[in-house]
Structure 1
Amino acid sequence: MNKAFPVLLFLLLGMVTTSSFGQRGHGSLYSTYGLGLPSYDNFGMAGRIGGTGAAVRSPYFLNSVNPASQTSIQTGNTFMVDVDASYNYQQVKTSSGSIANNFSNLNYFSFWFRPSQFLSVSIGLTPIYTKDYSFSDRVYFEGLSEEYDRVFRGWGNLNKAYMNFSTQISPKFSVGVRPYFLFGNNTEEATFLNVHEDGFVSKKQTSLTGVGADLGFQYMFFRNENSALIFGATGNINSKVKGKLNGNIYTYIDDELLYEAEESTESYELGPSLRGGLAFHTKSWVWAADYLYALKAPKVTQSVDNQVFSFGAEHMPDYFSTDFFKRWNYSFGASYQTGSLSVEGLKIPIYSVGAAVGVPLNVSSRVSIGYKYKTTGNKNTISQESLHTITLNFTFADRWFQRYNYD
């Protein structure tokens, strides 16, 4: 405690921050607030078509958005694995300069199977909030003459591990429920260094847990031999997310522990969301448009209600053709978010546009390669961020428990 007392006194002294501010590391500076930035299940097929999916009922691909959609698989396969990974190149501009980063992510995993004619089930794992930021400034403490460089870093995810159950109530109406367990870890770290590169590090780690569920339905307005028009809607229910906090302070050079705080708990509230959409299906096209309204997180001062408008389409000439190139699929989409954050009275909008092409690997498996460009915010708030993303979406499918007759 004798060593810890000067450090604690040091932190409690009045602190003045200079105007220098610069981004370091990778990730969005806007993920600083709350539990991070929301993903809205924008992976897999949904990621290829602008984040839409409330009404999409693809016979070939899993829909990660609406839990009612997964009765739509009609390829004859009894199981399917869907995996989404990405490489990202980011450019961040602030009032004091700019920086470029690159990083990769494993975004999403889902395993789907059909245990009966009337029930489809999938299990999966995906992040719902992502935190990844780093920035620096310069500070000095009242009563001390030397300045300190301060570097803030934060990283972590809040993930959901889920089971998706969907069933067909009638030829026109399907429902689904996706109960999930929330878990994750967030780390926040502040490093203080003087001109001699000597100082200390304050580190806080939070272990997060919670439960929730996604609910959804899809209704087919009409269907004929060549086309169908479908309406879909989804919503979610979340409990409070519990966080167990551990914090400590240690020296920068030799990692000597100076202070260890007692474990404490916090609770976080997630803002619920509602989504609705229309999809028009033909034999070779899917056209979809969604509207999502996400309420703010109650305990986050900067959080505001967010509206998301998205549009997308996918073209599959002939999934079962013997012509290799007719079995390719082509996708494009765009979305606009009014912003889930407000900084200094200004909302932080997000725009994105992208396209993808899918190539069959065999009769029932393929890889889709996509590109998406996204912009977030502007330099008048915190930063103007542009993100170039190359996505690989792998779909593997086959038949299980099928009887074959031999002569």
Structure 2
Amino acid sequence: MPDTDSSVQAISMARRDGAPLDPPPEYARLRQEAPISRVSMWGGRATPWLVTRWEDARTVLASPGVSSQNTRPGFPTAIENAPAMPPGYFFGQDDPVHDTFRRALTREFMVKRIEALREPTMRILDQLLDAMIDSGGPADFVEAVALSLPSLVICELLGVPYEEHDFFQSHSKVLIDSAVTAEEKIAAHQALGDYLERLVEDKRRQPMDDLVSRLAEHVDAGTFSVRDAADVGAFLLFAGHETTANMIGLGVLALLEHPEELPRLYQGKAELANSVEELLRYLTIAHTGLTRIAIEDIAVGDVTIRAGEGVIILLNSANRDADTFADADTLDLARANARQHLAFGYGIHQCLGQPLARMELQIVLPEVFRRLPNLRIEPGREVSFKQTSAAYGASFMPVTW
């Protein structure tokens, strides 16, 4: 992200003391004074555009004149000369590669498929809460529930055999643990990749009603390779694990801080669904923004972004834009236009797994407070946060009940 080694402005991601759930205060000033501005990164060797307003963010993300291909010169990756993403990580690809993989997965996230995961998700949550309660407390809610649930749900989605859940979950946790070394992450990534390749081959021989079996069908049809199918599985793990885990933790924390909003979770399906949308808007865990590069000149507000120039879209700023969301810094679970948020992005690269994330949050949030009506942060201890992660969240959340 932007640094301080250039005369072009640099932007801090530091959040205000006492307001860990709010975006950096500098973003509000930028939305008013310089909604599209240059920022410095890579020691000043790149000066991409920073987009902070909701309308401008939608314009960029919907434009066919921008690319998601991180190997293009000047693409604003977090580190200079970042390695290319494999095709299976299709969020970093342009069409036709992006379209090929997305089409192969679209039906997996339709309502019928996601609804079939509700019962397993509730079962997993009950098991995790039972274990946490049986421990007698206090407990780290992140470790006990928030981290474990998404990876176990993804196991159900992919078709990972139950007896291999522990292997899958333990290695997936390593990938998102900021305390482990780069070597440990590489080893975990390799182990999961090798495992998923074997799983694809197993499903080719003995298909079942799961996502990996249907990816195996695409391998047999020549749509993509076994390794591509394994990479898709790995991508779904990475994309759906830490992001949802962070939203679960922050969602619980936001409701602990705003107990007056809790009744909305129990007023009906529509009210619960809207409550989740407002939490997605208010918390917006995309901490470092979405990155693109212009492949043709595009007009955004009063600025023309030229071909070859990088763009960083700050979703957490766009979702606090008062021109779109009245009283935008207030959590209001009854907000009428909450679903206009950009927490899942916008345009052709909008998060494919958003129905799964919504379903998990709609189950977890009301059930946690139903099972633990006296849930609170452990007195005398503090929540710690992932200040430098691309996906913002709580790293430690000590609770008692």
TM-score by length of 1: 0.26
Structure with bigger strand share is 1
Structure with bigger helix share is 2
TM-score by length of 2: 0.26
Structure of larger gyration radius: 1
Higher relative contact order (CA 8 A, sep 6+): 2
